[in-house]
Amino acid sequence: MKKTHIVLLVLVAAAVCIIVSKFGDFSTYETFASASKQPGKALHVIGYLEKSKAMDYDPLKDPNHFTFYAKDKSGNVNKVIFNGEKPRDIEKSEQIVMKGYIEGDAFHCTGIQMKCPSKYKKDQVVVGNAS
């Protein structure tokens, strides 16, 4: 091999290492139980809104404080504190992906992504008449 080929291979390898280290936050989805074993670490938790428990949001008092309860896929229910306004139609969401960390007995959420039900369910499809 020529020296230029070796230098190019080393540069490509270094570039790949830099890219992987820069964007290497390949996080997996956790449960509240596994997140509580890693307090302070930013994680993603998939859950469902626990509708039997109260939500606390008073935009007149503090428009950037929303508290609710969520149940993860393992069935664990945890208090979630979100420092932002209440997401619109959170009650209608099928799933909630919460990014945040455990601190004390609550999950402090820094971002919420809602998975809404499909509007194309079989019983809601309108079929036209054949002419």
Cβ–Cβ < 8 Å for 68, 91: no
Cβ–Cβ < 8 Å for 84, 95: no
50-90 residue pLDDT tens: 999 999 999 899 989 999 999 999 999 999 999 888 988 88
The CATH classification number of 26-115 equals 2.40.50.140
Q: Output 23 or 73, whichever has higher pLDDT.
A: 73
**SS3 of 34, please?**
helix
Q: Which residues of 78-90 are buried (b: 16+ CB within 10 A; e: fewer)?
A: bbbbbeeebbeeb
Say what the pTM is. 0.68
Cβ–Cβ < 8 Å for 112, 96: yes
Domain residue extents for the chain:
26-115
State yes or no: pLDDT of 120 exceeds 70: no
Residue 24's pLDDT is 55
Cβ–Cβ < 8 Å for 28, 20: no
